[in-house]
Amino acid sequence: MSRDFELLEPKTVKEACAMLSKHRDQAKVIAGGLSLLLFMREGLFKPRFLVSLMKIKGLDYIKHDAKKGLRIGALATHRSIENSKVVKAKYPVLAETFHRVGSMRIRNVGTIGGNLCHADPRLDPPPTLLALDAKVKVVGPKGTRSIRLEDFLTNYYETVIRPNEILTEVSVPSQPPRTGGAYVRFSTKTNDDTPAVELAAVVTLDPKKEVLADVRIGLGALAPTAVRAKKAEAFLKGKRPEEDVLKEAGMIASQEVEPIGDLRGSEEYKKEMVGVMLKRGIQAAFEKAKA
């Protein structure tokens, strides 16, 4: 691995931004380092400076209040989110999703901020975060921006973050009553392999009837970024999750993505699986919402 780099260890976000401003494209942020070190070891990326965030204190919180919802500091590890009492109580689908990230060793070190900024479309958290209408807070020398996650992720490994900005927080709004979520991770190979289809379904039921008042579906590993299946969502709104309704919603959703045929499935197969997983996801979310 390239040894020609300098590791900078700022103690505050402000210091980190200043270092990034100074070194521009020669510098990259490193948190847990799992994804970045992989690329560096393969010789695909050779930065001159790494700005490590690991000495910055106070960015690993998980807070919740009824008004602001859930706020997670960018350096919170996947494991801490998976195990968090408040996440398990208020956003169980999020705890389930973070439980599926990599292996225990990955979850002990990887951070939510690093995960979102790495922006590999095959990662687990983004579809669920999208389905929960998550936002990210990004801090730079010119100030703070609050960006919807949908707008934050733009392409393979690309986000709207500027070279001298740091993602500091991920927030998820409070969910209405009678809301349930499910995360489906369909892998055609081993349990922990990159999946063929990732689908997160969050549904809110009508207060009186068993009808889908609101539906949000996040899809992953099927496009250059994780995406929302907006057309399928609109179709399902106001309906009961019956067989034929879900089947049609599945077909609509499969047309909203462009899966790449690879070792994990052909394009056609993955599209068909979107339909299968949508049915499973919506049904599971529906049961949770009823409870």
Partner 1 sequence: MLIEEKFTVKAPREKVWAFLMNPKSLAPCVPGCEKVKAIDEKNFLVTVKMKIAFISLAFNMKVEITEMSPPVHLETSATGEESSMTSNIKAKNVIDLTSLSDRETEVSYRSEVSLFGKLGTMGQSVVKGKAKQVGKEFAEAVRKRLESKA
Partner 2 sequence: MKRKIVLNVNNDNYEVEVEPGRLLADVIREDIGLTGTKKGCEIGVCGACTVLLDGKAVSSCLMLAVHAVGKKITTIEGLMKNGELDPLQKAFVDYGAFQCGFCTPGVLMASKAMLNENPHATEHEIREGLNGNLCRCTGYAKMIDAIKSVAGR
Q: Which of 4, 207, 208, 263 binds partner 1 (CB under 8 A)?
A: 263
Closest distance of CB 213 from partner 2, Å: 35
Phi, psi of 162 (to 5 degrees): -85, 160
Tokens 């095959």 found at: 122
Confirm if 267 and 260 have CB atoms less than 8 A apart: yes
Q: Which of residues 95-114 bind partner 2 (CB under 8 A)?
A: 102-106, 108-109
Is-contact 112 135, C-beta < 8 A?
Answer: no
User: According to CB under 8 A, which one of 23, 79, 270, 288 is a site residue for partner 2?
Assistant: 79
Segment lying near partner 2 (by CB under 8 A), choices 37-45, 87-95, 136-144, 205-213: 37-45
Give every CB contact of residue 164 below 8 A, 6+ residues apart in sequence.
17, 20, 21, 24, 140, 141
Instruction: Please pick, from the candidates 194, 198, 226, 227, the single residue that binds partner 1 as defined by CB under 8 A.
Output: 194
Cβ nearer to partner 1, comparing 4 with 243: 4
Handedness of CA 155, 145, 112, 199 (dihedral sign): negative
The secondary element (H helix, E strand) that includes residue 220 is: strand 212-220
Q: Can you tell me which of 158, 193, 210, 287 binds partner 1, judged by CB under 8 A? A: 158
**From the list partner 1, partner 2, none, partner contacted by residue 122 (C-beta under 5 to 8 A by kind):** partner 1
Closer of 124 and 133 to partner 2 (Cβ): 124
Give phi and psi for 82, each to the nearest 5.
-60, -40
Q: DSSP secondary-structure letter at 56? A: -
> What gap in Å lies between CA 98 and CA 92, rounded to an integer?
10
CB of 19 to partner 2, least distance (A): 14
Tell the smallest beta-carbon distance from residue 255 to partner 1 (Å): 17
38 binds partner 1 (CB under 8 A): yes
Only one of the segments 75-83, 203-211, 258-266, 276-284 lies at the binding site for partner 1 (rule: CB under 8 A); that segment is: 258-266
Tokens 């225990």 — which residue?
104
Q: How is residue 175 annotated by DSSP?
A: P
Determine which residue in the list 18, 37, 86, 260 makes contact with partner 2, applying CB under 8 A: 37
CB of 206 to partner 1, least distance (A): 39
Burial 170-181 (b: 16+ CB within 10 A, else e): bbbeebeebbbb
Contact present, 164 and 145 (Cβ < 8 Å): no
User: Integer distance in angstroms from the first to the last C-alpha of the chain?
Assistant: 52
Q: Tell me, by CB under 8 A, how many residues bind partner 1.
A: 21
Percentages (nearest 5) of helix, strand, coil residues in the chain: 35, 25, 35
Which of 14, 41, 68, 85 touches partner 2 by CB under 8 A? 41
Instruction: Return the residues of window 156-195 that contact partner 2 according to CB under 8 A.
Output: 191-192
Binding site for partner 2 (CB under 8 A): 1-7, 30, 33-34, 37-38, 40-41, 50, 52, 54, 79, 102-106, 108-109, 191-192
Binding site for partner 1 (CB under 8 A): 28, 38-39, 42-45, 119-120, 122, 155-158, 194, 224, 258, 260-263
